[in-house]
Structure 1
């Protein structure tokens, strides 16, 4: 396992916001991630961890700078970890047409099997195995108390990772998630490109399909903006709603009228999500 180097640190609500980097064995690149250490962690306590997976075009910076999550995390004693959304650097392939929805900034939290993506685009293994081990070894995190949330592409990532490993995560939530990548243009492009044409191989990366195939979590919180321009053709929360209802998974789906897909939307409701996680991460 590599060692993380602190790129920057800043005092914030009695805690400390850090950006770190390390050499990743999974992606074969340098990776960056942000970590907010609440005051309780700086005082020596091992605290619960909440992961935030960002959406298309984002880096570790978007949630860290725009969501306004640190104040509530400091109060609740939550360590926040925000990874990057894809490998980057020399030799890492990008979408040939430089589109925003594939390649750099669009790793979709999958382990690619197709060339030229397979070598570097291993975000599933990076998020599920490599980065958690690094965080547990180098930060005051309690690996027995973890939650995960995300936005858009990252909402898809949070839901699918939690559904595949419910024993690791006590809580899962999402903002405007891509609920069924197999049935939307973003997902069809990404899953087809990274994984190839066999749609059966896409199912582990589709929250709705995972639930249909028997995956279960205790409950889910989702916020979806009613004025989100991607709502009808990309996000489709009604598919997740139907799958959860059939499977008996308690889903709190809050349709927030007038809100769009931006971080203004996330900042408006991030406190609710952090309190949802904190309630489920109590010792």
Structure 2
């Protein structure tokens, strides 16, 4: 499954590659961005982080507005920016609203027709990109983390909680943390999965954290001026309560939810705290000193 490089953009000493490929999981062409820091080479495979974008976005938004490349360049980490949904084939009404269908894949595998044929964003991230990218680019397959914003924050949290052995760390900006209890999630899960709400719970971070075993460190930032937070679309407080009930550490060195005064839901918010999230992930992505000793 070769990737085609459609453009190369110099950025902070590294390269932002604008890629496309024929996806086997989705069954059509998909586009994505990959930032390679200056430290990446055929002789130095670098750690990498998935950034999952939110509703209405593509793989371009985070690369152009998130300001992750500056900190990524300094730390020698790559960033992968996938798209948010399949773009073809099209279904009747899949672009009728901003929060369902096109640009709103919710990083799950749909089980309800017709979306079940191609809306397989969970498999696309976890199986296809996760395995394929290190085969073509200087990425270390053993050092991978995940983060995201809003719908992508939901994706980052749920994919980490379901596949924790695949990822070193996780963080989120304004995640949809309890989708079964908010309008966005109810609309998406009803359309992609159907009426069985027991199936919905399998894709809800608040439900998944209740049964997570072992220590768990997550950085989550939420702006107190975020209208979606005020409208109860995000519900980070439910995620925090579920973590406490599960006996997990909440706060520093645990599930660290930071409420940032007056910040909104935008990329101004994300770019302000981007370096903090890169720093969080680097604590888990740096090779142990023993692995760096050569003889």
Q: Distance in 2 between matches of 1:219 and 1:243?
A: 15
Q: Which residue of 1 aligns with 2:216?
A: 218
Q: Distance in 1 between matches of 2:48 and 2:214?
A: 21
Q: Which residue of 2 aligns with 1:185?
A: 183
Q: Distance in 1 between matches of 2:56 and 2:92?
A: 12
Instruction: Check conservation: 2:94, 2:100, Cα contact below 8 A.
Output: no
Structure 2 residues without counterparts, runs of 5 or longer: 288-295
Q: Which residue of 2 aligns with 1:155?
A: 153
Instruction: Check conservation: 1:51, 1:82, Cα contact below 8 A.
Output: yes
Determine if the alignment matches structure 1 residue 277 to structure 2 residue 281. Answer: yes
Q: Which residue of 2 aligns with 1:64?
A: 63
Q: TM-score, normalised by structure 1?
A: 0.96
Structure 1 residues without counterparts, runs of 5 or longer: none
Deviation at 1:96, TM superposition (A): 5.2
Q: Distance in 2 between matches of 1:33 and 1:97?
A: 20
Q: Distance in 2 between matches of 1:141 and 1:94?
A: 39
Deviation at 1:42, TM superposition (A): 3.5
Q: Identify the match of residue 192 of structure 2 among 191, 194, 200.
A: 194
SS at match of 1:222: strand
Deviation at 1:213, TM superposition (A): 3.3
Displaced runs of 4 or more, over 4 A: none
**What are the superposed Cα offsets for residues 90-144 of structure 1, whole Å, 9 maximum, x if unpaired?**
x322635710000000000010011110111000000000111111111111111
Instruction: Check conservation: 1:162, 1:217, Cα contact below 8 A.
Output: no
C-alpha RMSD of matched pairs (Å): 1.3
**What are the superposed Cα offsets for residues 157-179 of structure 1, whole Å, 9 maximum, x if unpaired?**
00000000111111100000000
Q: Distance in 2 between matches of 1:146 and 1:97?
A: 33
Determine if the alignment matches structure 1 residue 6 to structure 2 residue 5. Answer: yes
SS at match of 2:148: strand
Q: Which residue of 1 aligns with 2:81?
A: 82
Q: Distance in 2 between matches of 1:24 and 1:269?
A: 32
1:120 to 1:275, Cα distance in 2 relative to 1, 3 A: same
Which aligned pairs between 1:1-283 and structure 2 lie closer than 5 A? 2-42=1-41, 44-89=43-88, 91-93=89-91, 95=93, 98-214=96-212, 218-232=216-230, 233-247=232-246, 248-249=248-249, 250-283=254-287
Instruction: Check conservation: 1:94, 1:103, Cα contact below 8 A.
Output: no
Q: Distance in 1 between matches of 2:134 and 2:212?
A: 30
Deviation at 1:246, TM superposition (A): 1.9
Q: Distance in 2 between matches of 1:97 and 1:27?
A: 18
Deviation at 1:217, TM superposition (A): 5.7
Q: Distance in 2 between matches of 1:227 and 1:99?
A: 24
> Which stretch of structure 1 is more off in the superposition, 266-275 or 7-16?
7-16
